[in-house]
Structure 1
Amino acid sequence: MTNIIRTVSLGLIILAGGRSSRMGRDKAALPWQGATLLTDLLLRSQGVAFDEIIVSANRPPDLSALPPELAARVRVVADDCQDCGPLGGMEAAFRACTCSYCLVLSVDLPFYDFSPVKQILPKLAQMPPVDLFLPISENRPQPLAAVYRRGPALEAVQAALNAGKRRVLSIADALTVRILDDEGTPILYENVNMPSAYKAALAIDANRRRTVPVISISAARSGEGKTSLAVQVIAELTRRGYAVAYVKSTHHRRCWEKRGSDTDRALQSGAVQALLCGPDDVAAGEGKEDALLRLAQQTTADVAIVESRSHGPFPVIYIDGPEPPPIRLDNITAVIGCGSDPSFRYIAPEQIDCLCGYILYLTTS
Structure 2
Amino acid sequence: MKAVILAGGKSSRMGQDKASMVLGEKYVIQHVIDNLSSVFEEVFISGNHTDYPNSKGIITDITIQKGPMGGIHSALEFCREDIFVCSCDMPFVSSGLIQDFLQKKVENKINVVRHGEKIYPVLGIYPLAVLGTLEETIKNENLRMTSFLQQQNAHYIDYDDGFETQLLNINTPENFRAAEIIINKNL
So what's the TM-score if we normalise by structure 1?
0.48
| TM-aligned CA deviation for residue 93 of structure 1 | 0.9
| 1:63-114: CA deviation from partner (whole Å, max 9, x where unpaired) | 2xx4xxxx4xx12011122211111111111100133x21111100121113
Q: Aligned partner of 1:135: which letter?
A: V
Partner residue of 1:23?
14
Question: What residue in structure 1 maps to residue 43 of structure 2?
Answer: 53
CA contact (8 A) 2:8 2:46 kept: yes
Letter in 1 for 2:16: R
1:93 to 75, 79, 92: 75
**CA contact 1:138–1:186 (8 Å) conserved in 2:** no
Q: Post-superposition, which runs of at least 4 consecutive aligned residues in structure 1 deviate over 3 A?
A: 120-124
Aligned to 1:111: 92
- Aligned-partner Cα distance in 1 for 2:135–2:148: 9
Contact 1:13 1:53 in 2 (8 A): yes
Say yes or no: does 1:190 pair with 2:168. Answer: yes
Does the alignment pair 1:13 with 2:4?
yes
C-alpha separation in 2, matches of 1:156 and 1:143: 16
1:40 alignment partner in structure 2: 31
1:28-61 Cα offsets, whole Å, 9 max, x none, are 101023211112211122221x253221111203
Deviations 1:103-155 (A, max 9, x none): 1111001211133331243566xx6x331112111321111111121222x22
Partner amino acid, structure 2, of 1:78: T
Mapped contact 2:36–2:43 kept (Cα < 8 A):
no
8 A Cα contact 1:11 1:97, kept in partner: yes
Quote the offset at 1:159 in angstroms: 2.0
Could you say which residue in structure 2 is the equivalent of 1:137? 115
Code of the aligned partner of 1:139: E
Higher helix share: 2
1:136-155 residue pairs with structure 2 within 5 A? Answer: 136-152=114-130, 154-155=131-132
Q: Equivalent of 1:175, from 135, 152, 172?
A: 152
Letter of the structure 2 residue corresponding to residue 111 of structure 1: F
1:200 pairs with 2:182: no
For the 8 Å contact 1:117–1:147, the answer to whether it is kept is no
Q: Do the aligned partners of 1:57 and 1:79 also contact (CA within 8 Å) in 2?
A: yes
User: How much is the aligned-residue C-alpha RMSD, in angstroms?
Assistant: 1.9
The CA deviation string for residues 3-44 of structure 1, in whole angstroms up to 9 with x for no partner, is xxxxxxx11011111111111111110102321111221112
Q: Which runs of 5+ in 2 are unaligned?
A: none
How many residues are matched?
186
Bigger Cα Rg: 1
Tell me, which stretches of 5 or more residues in structure 1 are unaligned? 1-9, 210-365
